[in-house]
Amino acid sequence: MIAPSLLSGDFLNLHKDIEMVNNSDADWFHLDIMDGVFVPNISFGIPIVEAIKQIATKPLDVHLMIVQPEKYIKSFRNAGADIINVHYEACTHLHRTIEEIHATGAKAAVTINPHTSVNLLEDIVSMVDMVLVMSVNPGFGGQSFIENSFKKIERLKEIILRKNSPSLIEVDGGINSSNAPLLFKSGADILVSGNFIFKSADPIQTIRELKFCRG
Ligand code: DX5
Ligand code: ZN
């Protein structure tokens, strides 16, 4: 599956980019929420998610790069989030936070930064719907893919299978048609892509290229 990140879209013309994703082979919208504290950048918040929801015809995958994400679960759910991703590094009581996300009816995902070992997920992987592996340090679109991510995905896949978890694996950051085939091969189910899609000459075709590169 492919989840285009609107962070790389045209903010003066989001309507056009949302329609493009609606009409493409993409599966979800990936929405990057940054607070300027957890990550060194500020993006957009609840009112924008609410506006996107009005015309998006695919699920909203909301990636919270914020401290104390538990404070905003209900607000993002009410704004239209279908999947809520919280960072492992931002949650002191991750187990409770996952329960709180599920209580709203949303799917719950835990996200790990490049420095966080997948081994730390042993005791939480059975209760999440997805693990999001960051393949760049979060905060900005257009960064270079960190090669160590392949190994992390393979090890995470082993843990998921061993624990009999239904969890999907999503990967986010620096993804393009060169690394996508190996990411799918390593065990990724969903690839997020921002710059590679939105800065390309034909985003619809680029989405198709990413989606079908697993052969
Ligand atoms: C990074 C974000 C990513 C980013 C992906 O902090 O979480 O979703 O927008 O963009 P690219 O594909 O350009 O790295
Ligand atoms: Zn993201």
Among 175, 192, 196, residue to substitute to test ligand 1 (most atoms within 8 Å of Cβ): 192
Q: Are 169 and 190 in contact (CB under 8 A)?
A: yes
Distance of CA 200 to CAs 28, 56, 145, 196, Å? 19, 21, 18, 6
Distance of CA 196 to CAs 3, 56, 157, 175, 200, Å? 12, 21, 25, 7, 6
Q: Is 85 in the pocket of ligand 1 (CB under 6 A)?
A: no
Average pLDDT over residues 48-72: 98
| Residue 11 tokens, joined | 């903010």
Q: Is 141 in the pocket of ligand 1 (CB under 6 A)?
A: yes
Residue 215 has pLDDT above 60, yes or no: no
Distance from C-alpha of 29 to C-alpha of 202, rounded to nearest angstrom? 18
Average pLDDT over residues 36-54: 98
Q: Which residues contact 53 (CB under 8 A, 6 or more apart)?
A: 60, 79, 80
- Identify whether 123 is a catalytic site residue: no
Distance of CA 199 to CAs 6, 28, 56, 194, Å? 11, 19, 21, 8
Q: DSSP assignment, residue 7?
A: G
- Identify whether 61 is a catalytic site residue: no
* Residues of the chain above pLDDT 90, percent: 99
Q: Which residues contact 79 (CB under 8 A, 6 or more apart)?
A: 46, 47, 49, 50, 53
User: Given pLDDT bands bounded at 50, 70 and 90, which one contains residue 214?
Assistant: low
- Please identify which of the residues 27, 32, 35, 129 carries the catalytic annotation: 32
Residue whose CA is at the smallest distance from ligand 1 atom 1 = 138
Q: Are 70 and 96 in contact (CB under 8 A)?
A: yes
How far, in Å, from the CA of 8 to the mean position of ligand 1?
8
pLDDT value at residue 213:
86
Q: Are 171 and 190 in contact (CB under 8 A)?
A: yes
Q: What is the pLDDT of residues 158-196, one digit of tens each?
A: 999 999 999 999 999 999 999 999 999 999 999 999 999
Q: Is 43 in the pocket of ligand 1 (CB under 6 A)?
A: no
Strands (E), 35-118: 60-65, 83-87, 107-112
Mean pLDDT of the chain: 98
pLDDT value at residue 144:
98
Q: What is the pLDDT of residues 111-153, one digit of tens each?
A: 999 999 999 999 999 999 999 999 999 999 999 999 999 999 9
Q: Is 9 in the pocket of ligand 1 (CB under 6 A)?
A: no
